[in-house]
């Protein structure tokens, strides 16, 4: 966890619970840094670029949080620079809940998961939307080659803070395609061994 993430996340109420449960002192030391936005480094950029989905949280006018799963080809969430992320907003069910929430409050939280590596990254940021008709060049820069989904707008996120979170309790899951490839390799190897075994049995006259 970065010190600035602690500054954003640890509200007075949070700190009071930390005090009650004995963790306040260590977290207070962590937060004793200048209140400057975190910068995306090489490790973070690589991790973000490998994702094919993430969860996006926004806040509605009623104060209720809303969490939406966003998916696309690997790398559709792009690191534009060390403080900015962007992605093409593909047309979905056309409820526009996240889109409407951003008109009310630009604060967002992203949750990025790598289940096979049991790793997760959380990001605080401020988002703005740019409609496709208003900036075709930006849409082209965020488009994913070969992906035919309709792009309605771009979403740019100014990163405020991020946290690499504990891997405890993350289930170790693998993409279906990777599992199928691994199983097929085993099947191919079994078939090869069975052919070799049949030849050996034939060469020594076994029935």
- In order along its 207 residues, the chain shows pLDDT tens digits of 899 999 999 999 999 999 999 999 888 888 889 899 999 999 999 999 999 999 999 999 999 999 999 999 999 999 999 999 999 998 878 899 999 999 999 999 999 999 999 999 999 999 999 998 899 889 888 988 888 888 889 999 999 999 998 888 888 888 888 889 889 999 989 999 889 888 888 888 665
Domain ranges across the chain: 1-35, 37-169, 174-207
**What's 134's DSSP letter?**
G
Pull the structure tokens for residue 151: 């792009």
- Residue 13 main-chain phi, psi, to 5 deg: -65, -40
| Topology at the third CATH level for domain 37-169 | Pnp Oxidase; Chain A (2.30.110)
CA-CA distance, 111 to 57, in Å (whole number)? Answer: 8
The answer to whether 157 and 108 have CB atoms below 8 angstroms apart is yes
The whole-model pTM stands at: 0.85
Q: How many CB atoms lie within 10 A of CB 133?
A: 9
CA-CA distance, 79 to 87, in Å (whole number)? Answer: 9
- Tell me what pLDDT residue 143 has: 86
């Amino acid at each position: 966890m970065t010190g600035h993430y602690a500054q954003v996340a640890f509200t007075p109420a949070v700190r009071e619970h930390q005090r009650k449960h004995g963790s306040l002192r260590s977290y207070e030391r962590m937060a004793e840094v200048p209140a400057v936005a975190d910068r995306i480094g090489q490790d973070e950029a690589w991790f973000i670029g490998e994702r094919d989905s993430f969860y996006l949280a926004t806040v509605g006018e009623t104060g209720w949080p809303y969490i939406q799963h966003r998916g696309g080809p690997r790398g559709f969430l792009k690191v534009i620079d060390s403080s900015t992320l962007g992605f093409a907003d593909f047309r979905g069910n056309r409820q526009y809940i996240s889109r409407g929430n951003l008109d009310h409050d630009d604060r967002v939280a992203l949750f990025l998961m790598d289940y096979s590596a049991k790793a997760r990254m959380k990001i605080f940021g401020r988002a703005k939307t740019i409609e496709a008709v208003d900036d075709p060049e930006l849409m082209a820069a965020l488009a994913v080659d070969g992906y035919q989904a309709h792009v309605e707008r771009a979403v740019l996120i100014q990163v405020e803070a991020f946290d690499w979170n504990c891997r405890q309790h993350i289930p170790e899951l693998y993409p279906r395609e990777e599992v199928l490839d691994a199983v097929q390799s085993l099947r191919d190897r079994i078939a090869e061994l069975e052919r070799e075994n049949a030849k050996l049995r034939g060469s020594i006259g076994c029935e």
